[in-house]
Amino acid sequence: MSGLGISAIYFLDQKGKIIISRDYRGEVSSSITEKFQRKVLELDERLIKPVFTEKDITYMWIRVNNIYIVSVAKGNPNVALVFTFLYKMKDVFCDYFKELEDESLRDNFVITYELLDEMMDHGYPQITEVKVLKEYIKTEANKMQKMTSEQQKKENQKISQAMTNIVSWRPEGIKHSKNEIFLDVIEKLNLLVSANGNVLRSEILGTVRMKSFLSGMPELKLGLNDKALFDMTGRTSKGKLVEMEDIKFHQCVRLNRFEAERNITFIPPDGEFELMTYRLDTQVKPLIWVECAVENFTRSKIEYVVKAKTQFKSKSIANNVEIYVSVPTDVDSPVFKSNVGTVKYVPDQNCMVWCIKQFPGRKEYHMRAQFGFPSIEAEERQKYSRVPIQVKFEIPYFTVSGIQVRYLKIQEKSGYQALPWVRYITQNGDYQIRMQ
């Protein structure tokens, strides 16, 4: 019987051949990837579940670019842990190799082995914090400084400490000439609207990203207009308060202090990281509402009238708005008419895209499109109407939820002054409007 972890990890190319693998527990033979190959590559991938068991071996796999990352386990592995690890591992590799793909793995096989060994031992994830790993496992490019043996010794101790430190995400002794920290509050709006305009589901997924360039071991405290905090302390606020449903923190945040006092305190990792995510389940009006009417759908042509309307304050502007409207698979000779933006037909996605560089609030634009049909009708021409309209956009200096950073206090024992910079942006998430 095996533990919570996995027996081995395989990186397979598109054809199912092993690019590189690491057997952690010596309990499976590597020929088992053939089984995986048979199953996933030869059957319809769409229908195969991400976890399945053949005989006594369980396969858990994800797909990244052109490779499959397959982990196998015996017994009763912790599936959630395995998948989470696979994704975190993917992030680590992406950080190291810029791109995780067939080529980059082959080119960096020595580092890949080193990382696989450090991230996981005996099938148990150990550390997936890329900043710390980079201290220890260096690419060819940055490992070549010669060190005296004394320096080396110090360095080694430092690494060992970093790997097991309570503050596992930040090595000591970081120095920056200018102490700055940047905060991005990014909100993604997930929206599902029925054809008649009913909002079926709306959800805001917020992220607070940080780019920290602070020296030493700074102690940070972040203040938000969090309703729960005000409720807890009995204070009232003139401004709007936001009720966050579910908050998730980077491991640097002291979770018990948050639980007890609702204060967000932490020692940040150096560089870029995601401090927290939150979710709000509030009913949001569609910021950009799109209506699409199909007219004159005959054997020879189809016509669309697309109406897009912004429903936010006029002083905000949505940038790079892209509206995707699905069309039947066999349309040809598109003709578009629109006074704003450009429209393109994207045959391989069976849709047209209406791009509007800048779309101010409280405005409404129209677009007409016409397509012809070939004389031989494609099967299931009608099915286009099942694909919802999708909208992409970015609205800077604006958050749907109204969340605000009230303060970011930075304290370090050396007592330097540091500048926090804050930016807000709202983007589309899964933003779908069903067609009629």
Partner 1 sequence: MSGATTNGASSSAAGGGYFSNMKSSELAELQTELNSLKPDDRREAAKQVIAMMTIGKDVSSLFPHMVKCMETTQIDMKKLVYLYIINYAKAKPDLTIMAVNSFQKDSREKSNPLMRALAVRTMGCIRVERITEYLCESLKDCLTDEDPYVKKTAALAVAKLYQTSPRLVKDHALIKLVQNMLHDGNATVVSNACASLLEISRAAGKNYLRIKSGSGPSASLNKVLVALNEANEWGKIYIMEGISSSYETADMKESENIIERVVPMLTHNNPAVILSAVKAVLKFLENIQPPTGDLAKGVVKKLAAPLVTLLASEPEIQYVALRNINFILQRQPTIFESNVRVFFCKFNDPVYVKLEKIDILVKVADDKNADIILNELKEYANDMEIELIRSSIKAIGTIILRVDKAAKRAVEILQELVNTGQPLCLQEAVIVARDIFRKFPNKYDALIKDLCSKLLEYYEPEAKAAIIWIIGEYAEKVTESEKIIDSFADAFLEEPDKVKLQILTAAVKLFLKKPEEGEDVIQKVLKLATEESDNPDLRDRAYIYWRMLSTSPQNTKQVVLGEKPHIADDSYNQYDDTLVSALIDQISTLGSVYHKTQDELANMQKRAAGGQPSVTPQPKKEEEEPVPQVEEQKEKKKVKKQEEEEPEEKPKKKKKADEKPAKAEKKKAEEPVKEVKPTPVVAPTNAGLIDIDDLLGMGDSQPVSQAPQQQQQSQNQFMGGLMDFGLPSQPQQQPPAVAFSNPFGDEEEEDSTAGAGWAADFGGQSTPAEDYSKYFLTRVHPLMKEVVGNGSKGKDGKTGLFVKAGFSMANAGIQLVLEIRNGSGQIVKDFDIMFNKNPFGIAIYGAANAIDIPDPGSSTVQKALPCVIDKKNLVAGLTNNGFTNLASVAKQGATMVYFGAKTVNNLPILLEIAAVQGSTSVSVTYRVPVAPLKPLLEDTLDYILSSERRA
**Within 255-294, which residues bind partner 1 (CB under 8 A)?**
255-256, 258-259, 274, 276-277, 279, 281
State yes or no: residue 250 binds partner 1 (CB under 8 A).
yes
Using the rule CB under 8 A, give the single segment among 74-82, 177-185, 293-301, 397-405 that binds partner 1. 74-82
CA-to-CA distance for 433 and 58, rounded, in angstroms?
39
State yes or no: residue 370 binds partner 1 (CB under 8 A).
no
- Closer of 127 and 408 to partner 1 (Cβ): 127
Judged by CB under 8 A, which of 29, 66, 161, 300 binds partner 1?
161
* Burial group, residue 377, by CB count within 10 angstroms (0-12, 13-18, 19+): exposed
Judged by CB under 8 A, which of 92, 388, 400, 428 binds partner 1?
388
Amino acid at 106: R
Whether 4 and 73 have beta carbons less than 8 Å apart is answered as: no
φ, ψ for residue 348, nearest 5 deg:
-75, -15
DSSP letters for 99-110:
S-SHHHHHHTHH
CA distances from 232 to 243, 258, 404 (A): 12, 12, 18
For residue 162, the SS3 value is helix
Which pair of structure tokens corresponds to residue 35? 């089984």
Q: Residues binding partner 1: what is the number (CB under 8 A)?
A: 104
Residues 302-361 that bind partner 1 (CB under 8 A): none
Judged by CB under 8 A, which of 34, 261, 377, 380 binds partner 1?
380
State yes or no: residue 15 binds partner 1 (CB under 8 A).
no
- Closer of 157 and 300 to partner 1 (Cβ): 157
- Closer of 14 and 300 to partner 1 (Cβ): 14
Judged by CB under 8 A, which of 68, 85, 359, 371 binds partner 1?
85
CA-to-CA distance for 311 and 44, rounded, in angstroms?
42
- Closer of 124 and 416 to partner 1 (Cβ): 124
CA distances from 184 to 207, 269, 280 (A): 8, 16, 18
Using the rule CB under 8 A, give the single segment among 24-32, 171-179, 215-223, 365-373 that binds partner 1. 24-32
Q: Within 10 A of 181 (CB to CB), how many other CB atoms are there?
A: 19
CA-to-CA distance for 272 and 310, rounded, in angstroms?
33
Q: How many residues does the chain have?
A: 436
At its nearest, how many Å lie between partner 1 and the CB of residue 28? 11
CA-to-CA distance for 271 and 408, rounded, in angstroms?
17
- Closer of 220 and 317 to partner 1 (Cβ): 220
CA-to-CA distance for 296 and 260, rounded, in angstroms?
62
Amino acid at 310: T
β-pair partners for 192: 201, 432
Sheet with 67-74: list strands edge to edge.
18-23, 8-12, 67-74, 57-64, 51-54
At its nearest, how many Å lie between partner 1 and the CB of residue 313? 27
- Closer of 17 and 362 to partner 1 (Cβ): 17
Using the rule CB under 8 A, give the single segment among 111-119, 171-179, 211-219, 303-311 that binds partner 1. 111-119
At its nearest, how many Å lie between partner 1 and the CB of residue 204? 11
Q: Are strands 246-249 and 271-280 parallel, antiparallel or unpaired?
A: antiparallel
State yes or no: residue 79 binds partner 1 (CB under 8 A).
yes
β-pair partners for 184: 209, 423
Judged by CB under 8 A, which of 121, 243, 261, 364 binds partner 1?
121
At its nearest, how many Å lie between partner 1 and the CB of residue 381? 12
At its nearest, how many Å lie between partner 1 and the CB of residue 10? 12
Judged by CB under 8 A, which of 66, 164, 333, 436 binds partner 1?
164
Residues 33-62 that bind partner 1 (CB under 8 A): 39, 46-56, 58, 60, 62
Using the rule CB under 8 A, give the single segment among 121-129, 231-239, 314-322, 368-376 that binds partner 1. 121-129
Judged by CB under 8 A, which of 20, 284, 355, 425 binds partner 1?
20
CA-to-CA distance for 182 and 420, rounded, in angstroms?
6
CA distances from 360 to 189, 311, 313, 319, 320 (A): 18, 10, 8, 8, 11
Residues 136-155 that bind partner 1 (CB under 8 A): 136, 139-141, 143-144, 153
- Closer of 166 and 376 to partner 1 (Cβ): 166
Which pair of structure tokens corresponds to residue 108? 């960096």
At its nearest, how many Å lie between partner 1 and the CB of residue 415? 27
Residues 193-232: x where in contact with partner 1 by CB under 8 A, - otherwise, as a string = -x-----xx-x-x---------------------------
